[in-house]
Every structure is written in structure tokens, then in C-alpha cells.
Amino acid sequence: MIVTSYKFRLYPTKIQESKLEDTIEICRTLYNDFIFESHLAYKEGYKIKFDELQRMIPAMIPKDKIYSKVAQMAFWQFYNNLKTLSALAKRGKRTGKMRFKPKTRYNSINYNQSGFKFLPNGKIKFSKIGKIKCVIHREIQGKIKEIIIKKELTEDWYAIVVCENEITSTCSLFRKKIVGIDVGINNFTYDSDNHSIKYPQFFRKSEKKLKRSQRKLSKKINNSNNRWKQKLNLSRIHQKIKNQRNDFLHKTSRYYVDNYDTIFVEDLRIQNMQKNHHLAKSILDSSWNLFFQKLEYKAVNAGILFRKISPHNTSQKCSRCNKLVKKSLAQRTHSCPFCDIVINRDYNASLNIKQKGIDSLPVGYREVTPLERIPLTMI
């Protein structure tokens, strides 16, 4: 099973919006009530049980104002968090008590399996809320498991539709097109076909906007109306960056999945990624991971092979003669003193990633993968 989620913008009416806000508030109160109950029981030296808590729900929520399953999910959320905490404590980790959720930290409700219906006019009907206008810009594939309605900091509403897909497709044995992809600071991707995808301009533009907005915010007086407005402005910029980035990552991953049937990338967890407080860098870091996630699920959906390989020496090794050629980050060219090849540094890395990927395949796979060891185009 593979889980995919889609995020769609919701346009509730004023009345629906206030109903949504009420529901969130009921769930938050419920969540906090459960924390209170469990703290109380703990003080009395009593371990409260799952069904005991669950039985309390009807008495804790206002009748007819909330879809009962939504309240159940708030309880589930509480119970899961409690379980996670106690599991951590059992493993000897220092854990505090569960903390009450303030209004600012509780902003979603969960319709699990029922209570929602997609209508032909583009609306989604939510039980106890109504028919909310929704922009469904992508086709939903798979079986819908749940819809999470979320209010972002920008005060916009979104529906996160979570689906499950069966993995039906299998990888074909006869690989045709294999690619190794290097991600980096100079180009977003550089691949073993000597093709690169640049960072979109908005990374830099948005960074400037963010900085300006943050600077303005720091000058506003605490708790003032202007500060609140500026905060909203900042959240909107964050949201916009998120949307733009998502769009770019979808397109980039789509390109590779449409053009290749085996994709190799570096496992970035192993690589010692430098922690950098520079904003642009932090956007990039998270982009690479998101990019791989998108590549992975698209690859699974399309029945093609996606694999992460160890990044050890991929940038230092010569892709033609396999000798180590040490170079600093600033050196953009791979110039091998042993075999005289001169190519782009990232291109060299992507060729190594491709070769490492092929080496990681079972022998039967490898036999049907003729590989050009020598890059065709040189710079």
C-alpha cells in the first residue's frame, strides 16, 4: 500500500467558516479535557484505560454540533500522542507531561472514512458543516481514507485528501533508460544525461520578500494590531513559497518519471549535510527531501525503479577511470589527471550515482543494462 495525499484549497462561506472554527474548538477542548483526565488519574495512581476514555466522549461534546467521528479522531490523536510519550518513557527517554494545546496550535479536524462526499459541482459535503466549495486541480487516485480540514496560518482553508493505492505494477526486467541524479547548490538537479534543471527564480525573490517582512515584523510592538497584520503577511509569503516550491517539485519529479524507468539518487541522510541558518539553504535542504519523496511515490505509481544509494565518494571519484580526484566544493569542474577527462563536477557525480545504482542491482538486472562508461559530451 502506498499513501498519497492531495491538498486542495477550500472556500467556505462565512457561516461554514464559523462552523469549522467551532468544530476545531470543540476538538481542541476535547483533546485538552482528555489530558486533564489522564493527569488526574495519574495523580491518583490510576492508569486510565482506552475504553474508559472513549466512553466519556458523548458527555464531553455538545450534541448535534459535531460529526461524532470527528470527535473520535480528536480522541485518537490524543491517545496516539499519549502512547508515543509512554513508549519513549519506557525506552528511558526523558519525557514531560502532555501539554495542553493552545488555540494557536490546534488548527485541523479529521474526517476519517466517512462524513464526507464529493459532489459533481466541485464541492465537498462535510457532515454537520455543509457543502464547501473546493478547487480540485489534480485527479484523485486511489481509495480515499480520510480528509483533514486545515486552517493555515494565512487563515486560508485546505482539504488534505489522504488516499491509499495498491501497488499493482511491477518493475519491468528490461531496463531501457537509467538515470543518476545529483542534487546540488548550483543546479537543482544535474543528471547522467548531462541535463540540468536550474533553481527557479522565485527561490531568491521570495527570500528577499521574506527577509523584508521579517524585518518589518521585528519593528512592530508586541500584541499590537499592526504586528498581527504583519504576521499574517509573513504567513502568506511562507504559504506562497510552499505552493511555488511544491509546483516546481511536482514538475521536476514528473519529468524524470516520464523519461526514465530506473532512477538513482543519493541518500542525503547519510551525507553530512551542513546545518546552515541561511534561509535559502534551509529551503533547499527541505526541497531535496520533498523532491525525493515525490519521485519515490510517482515512481512506485508508474511501476519504475527508484533507489537511493550511498553518496560515499560520488563527487570525488572519476566516472571514467574510477580513481579518486580530490576537489573542494568551490571547484566546479572535474578534471582527471589520470585519464584526462574534463567534465562538469555535478555531471561526474551523477554518472557515479548511476553506476553505483547499477552495481546495487541483482546480476540478472545488470546484464540487460548496457552502460556507457565514458560521457559523450565534454565541456
Question: Which residues make up the interface to Zn ion (CB under 5 A)?
Answer: 318, 320-321, 336, 338-339
- The residue (of 28 and 320) whose beta carbon lies closer to Zn ion is 320
Sequence-distant (≥ 6) Cβ neighbours of residue 179 within 8 angstroms: 191, 192, 193, 256, 259, 260, 262, 263, 264, 350, 354
- The residue (of 119 and 374) whose beta carbon lies closer to Zn ion is 374
- The residue (of 108 and 352) whose beta carbon lies closer to Zn ion is 352
Phi-psi region of 104 (alpha: psi -120 to 50; beta: other; left: phi over 0): alpha
C-beta of 312: minimal distance to Zn ion in Å?
Answer: 18
- The residue (of 230 and 355) whose beta carbon lies closer to Zn ion is 355
Assess contact for 188 and 202: CB atoms under 8 A. Answer: no
**Where are the extended beta strands (E) located within the chain?**
2-11, 108-112, 116-118, 123-126, 130-135, 143-151, 157-165, 178-183, 189-191, 196-197, 262-266, 305-309, 333-335, 342-344
C-beta of 327: minimal distance to Zn ion in Å?
Answer: 12
C-beta of 317: minimal distance to Zn ion in Å?
Answer: 9
- The residue (of 175 and 320) whose beta carbon lies closer to Zn ion is 320
Neighbouring-strand partners of residue 31? none
C-beta of 378: minimal distance to Zn ion in Å?
Answer: 12
- The residue (of 80 and 313) whose beta carbon lies closer to Zn ion is 313
C-beta of 325: minimal distance to Zn ion in Å?
Answer: 7
Burial class (CB in 10 A: 0-12, 13-18, 19+), 39: middle
Distance CA 342, CA 333 (A): 7
C-beta of 326: minimal distance to Zn ion in Å?
Answer: 13
**Residue 146 CB coordination number (10 Å):** 19
Burial class (CB in 10 A: 0-12, 13-18, 19+), 302: middle
C-beta of 316: minimal distance to Zn ion in Å?
Answer: 11
- The residue (of 70 and 318) whose beta carbon lies closer to Zn ion is 318
Indicate if the alpha-carbon torsion angle 207, 212, 213, 219 is positive or negative: positive
- The residue (of 24 and 318) whose beta carbon lies closer to Zn ion is 318
Assess contact for 67 and 125: CB atoms under 8 A. Answer: no
Neighbouring-strand partners of residue 9? 135, 158
C-beta of 179: minimal distance to Zn ion in Å?
Answer: 21
